[in-house]
Chain A
């Protein structure tokens, strides 16, 4: 009797129903219209330029989000990893705390913060920046997306950094490396698996998100996910499925790139997932 049997319900029931079947449906609706094979949707998505701007919007929002999360997340993780155990536990808890609340609620909170006459607008008006529209702008979408995904950047980096073998740092210092050199040549390369995980965990969901831009964007910036949502809501499954499939492929490509970068580092650190 093997323990792997415990996984059977997942492998033979859950996965086929909730992962494989939906994928087959998406592929079916991409290539078939009322039972007939068609390339209409594929040509519509690729030949006409209508949907191109939404691809671009999703891409730049995901890239900016990932870059900012990395810029904020790495130093924070580094500080956390060098804190006393108890303090670090407390501070990292504060970062995780918002994740216990539903993402939609947090996004709705941003709507109140950013709205005309909200807290942020009031503070800005004190320094003479009244009448600035904050809500329903691309900026609002980017800020809230960063806020939503920051913990996904911090956690993997922090995990790697806190497990770092301190004796290697000491060795580097003993051998005459200054603190900048130690960081660049020892700490940073060793923490790359965490960075890669963080980037993947932020970039991929940010790329396909639609709720944040739906609530805070007011259509000022339309993301791919929103178009897909709208298409499915209106029952136009063909285009919706085709766009979903394209998004899936984009995600797979970015995962493959990450994997490749990760592999180059694997010799030094080992992968997280």
Chain B
């Protein structure tokens, strides 16, 4: 009897440890991708497998900080990842990324010049733009006066007390407050940061709630008049079928312009495969299909004609370049992020 029990226990032990072991031994024909949730069309993955026999295995995370923790490791098991601008800047500084061989990515010509050579990776040595968007205000047309629109001031307008949703995320929300105070969203001046945090503390009585993903549901349900969201989410929220057509979006001056770009970790053993996949994703047809699924703006200039008029005329999806002129991209702040942390704690706990 005892033998059986130990056998069972041993088996149980092996079973529980198996997933850990599997992380280590990667199949030759799989590509491990670290990505945001709902950020890659399943059909596109299947198409890639059909053509090349390579299986795409996705791991999802919800924040750049999460991605950084996973990517800043010598034994990082991922071959491709889609972090945002400032995270990429930090990864480049830390030497965690592999230089991309553009001989394997002829489709790079499809990326609009406007989205190349951005400040976080000046020569696109390490990253290929995947999606982009802007930070702005989602508002309900039936609850908000048109005259109040246009700037961050609306979020401090007492008329909308108890109807405002703020985005519970340090850099993005500090960016809103810095913008409201008229400072750069990359400010590291302690006085400016303090002023921004004070503005957020003063705003607290007007705020209905600080959330992340719930914001979308709440706005679609019409339980709030104003919310801080990224344009990609706004596209989703204003969509007639699943969203609410009473909603619209604007992007204040000096707001955040962000890019999620594809990067290859330096220790990936399947760099060629990863480049092959990047090239595949840049094909106009594939990119169009993927964009339709994700709903975030695309840097691929061949895609918009393929998507048709509805997408082309959607001012939240297809934001004209003129409107992006005043916007700023987040920079990696290095150790100065601690200044943000301290002020953010003060806002949170108030």
Contacts and interface: CB of A to CB of B under 8 A. Distances in A.
Determine the main DSSP class of A at the interface with B.
loop
Interface string B56-82: 000000010110110000000000000
B267 to A, nearest CB: 20
A222 B350 CA distance: 9
Interface stretch (A145-153, A163-171, A231-239, A251-259): A231-239
B9 interface: yes
B168 A9 contact: no
B68 A219 contact: no
A51 interface: yes
Contact of A1 (B2, B68, B209, B348): B2
Interface in B159-202: 162, 168, 170
A220 B346 CA distance: 14
A6 B5 CA distance: 8
Contact of B170 (A54, A116, A234): A234
A220 B2 contact: no
A219 B164 CA distance: 13
B223 A117 contact: yes
Contacts of A233: 63, 65-66
A215 B212 CA distance: 10
A51 B348 CA distance: 10
B191 to A, nearest CB: 19
A135 B65 contact: no
A218 B209 contact: yes
Nearest to B218: A115
B145 interface: no
Interface residues of B, number: 28
Residue in B69, B341, B342, B349 whose Cβ sees the most chain A Cβ within 10 Å: B349
Nearest to B165: A218
B65 A235 contact: yes
Contacts of A235: 65, 68-69
B168 A219 contact: yes
B13 A13 contact: yes
A236 B339 CA distance: 13
A209 B10 CA distance: 34
Interface string A102-137: 000000000100011100000000000000010110
B208 A9 contact: no
Contact of B221 (A117, A215, A227): A117
B228 to A, nearest CB: 14
A53 B345 CA distance: 11
Contacts of B69: 235
A117 B221 CA distance: 9
A51 B68 CA distance: 26
A43 interface: no
Given A5-B2, A53-B349, A215-B214, 5 more contacts: A13-B13, A50-B342, A115-B223, A227-B348, A235-B65
3 closest pairs, A vs B, by CB?
A218-B209, A136-B209, A219-B210
Interface of A: 1, 3, 5-6, 9, 13, 50-51, 53-54, 111, 115-117, 133, 135-136, 215, 218-220, 222, 227, 230, 233-236
16 contacts: A3-B2, A5-B6, A6-B5, A13-B13, A50-B342, A51-B349, A111-B214, A115-B223, A133-B162, A219-B209, A222-B348, A227-B348, A233-B66, A234-B63, A235-B65, A236-B341
